[in-house]
Amino acid sequence: MYGKVVLTFIFVFLLLISYSIFIGTLDIRSYFFQSPVFQPVSCKPDPPIRLYMYDLPPRFNVQMINRRIQSQSPVTAKDFPRWPDNWGLKKQHSVEYWMMGSLIHEDDDDDGDSREAIRVLDPELADAFFVPFFSSLSFNTHGHTMTDPATEIDRQLQVDLMELLKKSKYWERSKGRDHIFPMTHPNAFRFLRNQVNDTIQVVVDFGRYPKGMSNLNKDVVSPYVHVVDSFTDDESQDPYETRSTLLFFRGRTYRKD
């Protein structure tokens, strides 16, 4: 009698194990193979993007800030002019100035690891190519009325720049797709805009651009400098916990609102 009870118990036990394995509630492997203890690996920050900056004569950039610059040699960190304190509204389109200044900056104590982008002097080493043409400032300086004779200067700068770029094998190699153009003013580069539609453009919104000209698939949105205050709480241990406001772009915007 006891034998029948034991056999019945064993049968039921084996049946329950088989059923558990079948429905997946019991993992036999866990008894034989111990899962390795997870050791978190510290993530290294992404390496900075390597940018080659074209050596353009000052008339394409800093000469619009300081007209006393007469040299035709590309500007260096030593003669890079300060942004004028009294320029008011022009500051809203000064992204092109700050981007160029960041690349041209030289610091013996800076190894580049803490920067998002570093300048390389060999174009073969570049991930992308920065074109330091102050297209927004050119419009504000030479052609803001869009009809006066000075507008021709803005147009001629665009013509001369495209002639220069088309002589570059790096422009021809990608047809400009890896070239970065700051164009924060909606009328910047307006005369030859169709020739740079494929480039990476730094814009502030897409309010006046066709989708084939500017879109989020290739371009970068930067805020108006004079509208957005600097966020200063990122020095804490956990900057995300210190933020009480979520900042984001919400689709189409009203310009300057």
Structure tokens at 9: 């118990």
Condensed to tens digits (0 to 9), the pLDDT of residues 37-65 reads 555 566 667 889 999 999 999 999 999 99
What are 50's strand-pairing partners?
Answer: 118
Condensed to tens digits (0 to 9), the pLDDT of residues 148-179 reads 787 899 999 999 999 999 999 999 999 999 99
Rounded CA-CA distance 158/172 in Å is: 17
Q: Per-domain residue ranges for the chain?
A: 50-228
| pLDDT band of 130, cuts 50, 70, 90 | very high
Structure tokens at 157: 């700068």
| pLDDT band of 19, cuts 50, 70, 90 | very low
Structure tokens at 48: 């900075």
What mean pLDDT is reported for the chain? 78
Amino acid 186: pLDDT: 86
Amino acid 148: pLDDT: 76
Amino acid 248: pLDDT: 60
Higher pLDDT, 245 or 16: 245
